[in-house]
Structure 1
Amino acid sequence: MGRNDALRAARLRVGWRTMEKAAEKLTDHGRQLLDDRQFNVSARTWRRWEGALPGWPSEETALVIHDALGRWPEDLGFTTPPGWIRPEHHKEEEQVNRRTFVSVTAAALVAGPVASQYVDPALIDYFQQQLEGHYRADMLLGPHDLIGTVSAQYQLIDKLVRSAKGETRQGLLRVGAAYAALVGWLYQDAGDMHGAAFWRGVTQEIAVRSRDPHLIGYSLVNQAQVRTDLGDGAAVIDLCEAALEDSRRLVPKVRIMAMQQQAHGAGLTGDRRAVDRLLDEADGLLSRVDDDLPWGNACRRTPGYLEVQRATCYGRLGLGSQAASLWNQVLQIVPTSARRDRGVYLARHATAAAGAGNPDEALEIAQAAADIAIETRSARTTKELVTLQRMMRPWQDSLVGRDLDGVLAPVIERG
């Protein structure tokens, strides 16, 4: 049998005379570095690392190894996965991403007046039809290929708003808010919360300028979505309660959106009773959704819309078995064409299966989710898979744990 002499030499160089001592020292180092009491490297894992087939550690473990031994895993005999980029090189990529962000957000910050022009009211319908196409493309492509296109159309709408008058101007403001909301969502799905927050703010500003109560409520729900991804349950509840403050003025669709998002806030704060109450109340309004507003139609086009929210909330509440049962039902009716959403749902289903004590089922589901995450480059799916990896820690040294590391390595090696 061969062995990984590079890692062995590095271990001995820092004075860790045995593999058992190395596992203990790296665990202590990782817990201090990451401020995570759950971080653990077992002696069995270290023995595998020094063997002929060391595999590849998780992203956070790679960082701990580098900090403790002064070398990256690919320099210590580990099997480098395709696409691995050392964290020290991520700054260059981040700089590129920030330049893209600056370029795109310039669409929302055009200074001063523009040359006056006639604005045909028919343009409102044109942009609304384009918007529906963008929603469909988002489900099929994911965020990265659409951000530039949608933000450029927003820039054109903003230019037209500055010349339009009366009802045409109000109509363009309303459709412009919908475009800004979509750009915000694309940034959120891409994992750029700074970009998402910026565009959610643009959405709210335009909604207020339009004086449309439905759009203002929608913009508050958009803000709450960002807070949900940040794990700030109390802020989610505050924003949704503000949206519902005068719910009699709102069409059922907006009320449903606010209630389901508030349920996520309740899930984050551990209030299972509120989760069920809010989602049951929203369910009672679904049959009354009959508006022709071009935005916020997920409750119409997403199969099992509210059960998706319930399963997600149950997962956050630690109700693994109940969440897994719901995901089984939901995924039977989600079309395969909805790749991005299906990837997120599969990752959450895998986490629920792990929480219910079914690691083999979690591994099988995770494989399908990882394939979709690679295709769509959805940061939301990747984030859910990182959560799954944490949930699978009790099995990290078993065969199923090692298999999971192999499945997830191409997805989350870059964090």
Structure 2
Amino acid sequence: MPAETIGQLLKRLRDEHGWTQQQVADEYCRVTGTVTKDAREVGRWERDKRLPTPDTRRHLATVFGVPAGDLDRAAAAARRARCQAPSAGSQPVMAEAAEMDRRTFVGTVTAAALTTAIPVPRHVDPALIPYFEQQLDGHYRADMLLGPRALIGTISAQCDLISQLVNAADGTTRQRMARVGVHYAAFAAWLYLDAGDPVTALRCHDVAQELAHRSRDREAVACALVDRAMARTDQGMGTAVLDLCEGALMDASLLSPEVQVFALQQQAHGASLLGDRRHVDELLDRAGRLLDAVDVEAWGTACLRTPHYIEVQRATCYGRLGLAHAADRLWQQIIPSAPPTSRRDVGVWTGRQAVAAAALRQPERAVELARHAAGIVMETGSERARRELAAVKAGMAPWQAEPIGQALAEVLAPIGKGV
């Protein structure tokens, strides 16, 4: 009888535990403190399309509570099976690559090379901290120009590496590295949200919160809470958003102005989800009064990088509240003044303005705005902008059978499913 391959072994162990592939991925992330494994990766292991590395096998042994040697022997059996059927071995890899967006595939391969090629030192030099900080600043700029998919692989790999460095570092270096890790995990969550993967984004937020507490940095903890609130905003969970932001602001007088602005504007989004315009304006007015005191953007909250930052939040909240006239007036001021580096954001904002135009019964204008936003979606792959266009389609339902409705369908057709 042929020896059990590692894919067969992992499938059997998963069945014995009664877990789904996603639960295996979650357990793996819990054991390792990483954020890059998902159900698709577990599926590839189980189908012997990708053999887990020795380090991965060791972690999987911990997940399932079995000797690591069992997985090593099963991996050897899978390699022998590949050698006996070489033509079958290359096809899954080609098919897997064909399924992935080219930029994501290249980024993932690069990320895998980073995590496997760089050994974690026993002594972590504090000089690594400014290195990662400088890298992140460039990543922020690249995200604004390229969209999320071009960066996910690289950022995820760096998150994994930083998590390992945190565990290896001593004393204050560990705390400072954990603080850097909060930035990276929060940014990874943002990328996954923008790419339409909220499940992985929430796992990134879990990592960010743990690292924030390990950093012993009050502002890191507050920002991790607000980042989590952003994800809950996307899910429409208004009370959760308010609670998380209130938790972040419990010691508001001890927080920097930028962190207070970050929390207040997100709290306003929670209030808009609950239909409370008065609270929205109160929170955003408070944030606006603090904005002039922000002199450095240490947490990457975009309040300095985004012109009309507070009014962008207000226009978004007004749109959510159904205040189409007020939202449209604000978008008319905001969008023309946006810098070229905000192109992806302009796609989101233009989609929101198109929704307002449809609500104002201006279908021709709504279609032209949607046309502009659709072009940006094609360039950046932003799922956030794509969702706004889905809302435009819903708002244009009264004209669906008319020529202008057909024009909108033609505009939206190239950007694919879900719209």
Tell me if both proteins adopt one fold, taking TM over 0.5 as the criterion: yes
Q: Which of 338, 353, 360 lines up with 2:357 in the alignment?
A: 353
Give the Cα–Cα distance (whole angstroms) in 1 for the partners of residues 210 and 165 of structure 2: 17
Mapped pair 1:131 → 2:132: no
Cross-structure match for 2:347: 343
Quote the offset at 1:291 in angstroms: 4.1
Cross-structure match for 2:263: 258
> CA offsets, 1:26-48, max 9 Å, x none?
xxxxxxxxxxxxxxxxxxxxxxx
Q: Where does structure 2 lack aligned partners over 5 or more consecutive residues?
A: 1-95
Whether contact under 8 Å (2:297, 2:303) holds in the other structure is no
Mapped pair 1:398 → 2:382: no
Q: Which of 142, 165, 185 lines up with 2:190 in the alignment?
A: 185
Mapped pair 1:117 → 2:113: no
Whether contact under 8 Å (1:218, 1:296) holds in the other structure is no
Give the Cα–Cα distance (whole angstroms) in 1 for the partners of residues 166 and 202 of structure 2: 23
Give the Cα–Cα distance (whole angstroms) in 2 for the partners of residues 202 and 178 of structure 1: 11
Give the Cα–Cα distance (whole angstroms) in 1 for the partners of residues 190 and 161 of structure 2: 19
Whether contact under 8 Å (1:228, 1:264) holds in the other structure is yes
Give the Cα–Cα distance (whole angstroms) in 2 for the partners of residues 123 and 162 of structure 1: 14
Correspondence 1:277-316 to 2 at 5 A: 277-291=282-296, 293=298, 295-316=299-320
TM-score by length of 2: 0.71
Cross-structure match for 1:169: 174
Mapped pair 1:209 → 2:214: yes
Give the Cα–Cα distance (whole angstroms) in 2 for the partners of residues 209 and 170 of structure 1: 6
> CA offsets, 1:194-243, max 9 Å, x none?
01111011111110111111011100011100111011111111111111
Cross-structure match for 1:40: none
Q: Which of 393, 411, 417 lines up with 1:413 in the alignment?
A: 417
Whether contact under 8 Å (1:382, 1:412) holds in the other structure is no
Cross-structure match for 1:272: 277
Cross-structure match for 2:56: none
TM-score by length of 1: 0.72
Correspondence 1:374-389 to 2 at 5 A: 374-389=378-393
Whether contact under 8 Å (1:253, 1:296) holds in the other structure is no
Correspondence 1:212-251 to 2 at 5 A: 212-251=217-256
Q: Where does structure 1 lack aligned partners over 5 or more consecutive residues?
A: 1-91
Quote the offset at 1:297 in angstroms: 3.5
Where relative contact order (Cα < 8 A, 6+ residues apart) is larger, the structure is: 1
Q: Which of 320, 325, 334 lines up with 1:321 in the alignment?
A: 325
Equivalent residue letter for 1:205: E
Equivalent residue letter for 1:257: F
> CA offsets, 1:117-156, max 9 Å, x none?
2222121111100000000000000011101101111222
Whether contact under 8 Å (1:203, 1:219) holds in the other structure is yes
Give the Cα–Cα distance (whole angstroms) in 1 for the partners of residues 337 and 249 of structure 2: 30
Equivalent residue letter for 2:194: D
Whether contact under 8 Å (1:276, 1:310) holds in the other structure is yes
Give the Cα–Cα distance (whole angstroms) in 2 for the partners of residues 348 and 172 of structure 1: 38
Whether contact under 8 Å (2:185, 2:204) holds in the other structure is yes
Give the Cα–Cα distance (whole angstroms) in 1 for the partners of residues 192 and 306 of structure 2: 21
Cross-structure match for 2:338: 334
Q: Alignment partner of 1:405: what SS? A: helix
Quote the offset at 1:256 in angstroms: 0.6
Quote the offset at 1:400 in angstroms: 1.2
Quote the offset at 1:159 in angstroms: 2.2
Cross-structure match for 2:147: 142
> CA offsets, 1:102-131, max 9 Å, x none?
x89x99xx9xxx865222212111110000
Select the structure that is richer in helix. 2
CA distance 1:407–1:118, change in 2 (3 Å) = same
CA distance 1:358–1:214, change in 2 (3 Å) = same
Mapped pair 1:160 → 2:165: yes
Cross-structure match for 1:151: 156
Cross-structure match for 2:84: none
Whether contact under 8 Å (1:336, 1:342) holds in the other structure is no
Give the Cα–Cα distance (whole angstroms) in 1 for the partners of residues 322 and 416 of structure 2: 23
CA distance 1:408–1:195, change in 2 (3 Å) = same
Give the Cα–Cα distance (whole angstroms) in 2 for the partners of residues 116 and 304 of structure 1: 44
Alpha-carbon RMSD: 2.3
Give the Cα–Cα distance (whole angstroms) in 2 for the partners of residues 116 and 374 of structure 1: 42
Give the Cα–Cα distance (whole angstroms) in 1 for the partners of residues 249 and 210 of structure 2: 18
Q: How many residues align?
A: 314
Cross-structure match for 2:66: none
Equivalent residue letter for 2:228: Q
Whether contact under 8 Å (2:390, 2:418) holds in the other structure is no
Whether contact under 8 Å (2:262, 2:301) holds in the other structure is no
Cross-structure match for 2:371: 367
